[in-house]
Chain A
Amino acid sequence: GQQVMQIPQYQHVQEGEDFTTYCNSSTTLSNIQWYKQRPGGHPVFLIQLVKSGEVKKQKRLTFQFGEAKKNSSLHITATQTTDVGTYFCAGRRSAGGTSYGKLTFGQGTILTVHP
């Protein structure tokens, strides 16, 4: 079945340093989504990437979708303590019509930011 691998599992940074998490799928994806989960909370949607080679930015966050639509990355510039949490990628294989299909989640990257 489809697998989505995410690395690293843990990342500790000093406030102000950059952070990147990488996501790799065993199959071609129709789209990839990124979520953030604060400690004790539930995942909150950040962004969806659909097109091959797509790059999207949200303030200090930059999201990329690979040309082959099998990998993705999330980069945070100049981390802040508010960035603490677990970042998940989630890939979808089927799309279109009324079929929503399944999202396969990566294992997540737990980000700790030291002030």
Chain B
Amino acid sequence: AAGVIQSPRHLIKEKRETATLKCYPIPRHDTVYWYQQGPGQDPQFLISFYEKMQSDKGSIPDRFSAQQFSDYHSELNMSSLELGDSALYFCASSLDPGTLGNEQFFGPGTRLTVL
């Protein structure tokens, strides 16, 4: 079965650079979530999209932005990178969040290292 695809899997950037992470949800999933997970920490919700519109916003820094495109893939854009942005970034997808019980399926994550 198709899973959530994230690219790249690993990314190394320097401080003040920009990065773009991509997420391709499971086919027919219209909702995408982005999470940041630091070492030894639980996933922190950043932002979510439903039907190409932002549905909710969590602890996403102003330096970050995201969008969902017409094919439902999503991109997380990160600018002015800081050392503290080094983390595992997960994307998850689900069906219409209004339907109870629709679990999130997580992608393998993108490991971002900021030097």
Chains A and B bind each other? no
